Amino acid sequence: MRAEKLNAAQIQDGVATLDAWTLDADHHIIEKTWTFDSFQTAMAFFAQAGAQAERLDHHPEFVSTYTRMRVRLWTHDVNGLTHLDFELAAAFDQLIAAEFSTRLKPSEPPCA
């Protein structure tokens, strides 16, 4: 069953449940950027985040810039946001908290 496209209110509610993700101007993409302590750590996150994407069969846009990794999420099939975007965003936040909280750039406090 194809995931249903969320409306503006549902999107606002979804963003409120996440940890510091932002909406793009058109409100159909959510994004977050992490800065890691090294490129190697950023690549380790990429690999583990990729596994989460495969688990949900839902795939982000990743932009890697040295120690920074930017993730943007939307659902291609509906050209908007669905519950899958918020599910994967939450999974990434859980991954960061569980595996990378001590490997974020020193100026970035580890996720609570």
Binding positions for ligand H2B, rule: CB under 6 A: 57-59, 75-77
Q: What are phi and psi of 41, to 5 degrees?
A: -65, -40
Residue 29 vs 42, nearer CB to ligand H2B = 29
Residue 40 vs 64, nearer CB to ligand H2B = 64
- For the chain, the C-alpha Rg in angstroms (whole number) is 14
Closest distance of CB 77 from ligand H2B, Å: 4
Closest distance of CB 79 from ligand H2B, Å: 9
AA letter at 56: L
User: ∠72-77-80 over CA atoms, to 5°?
Assistant: 50
Closest distance of CB 92 from ligand H2B, Å: 13
**For residues 86 and 51, is the Cβ–Cβ distance under 8 A?**
no
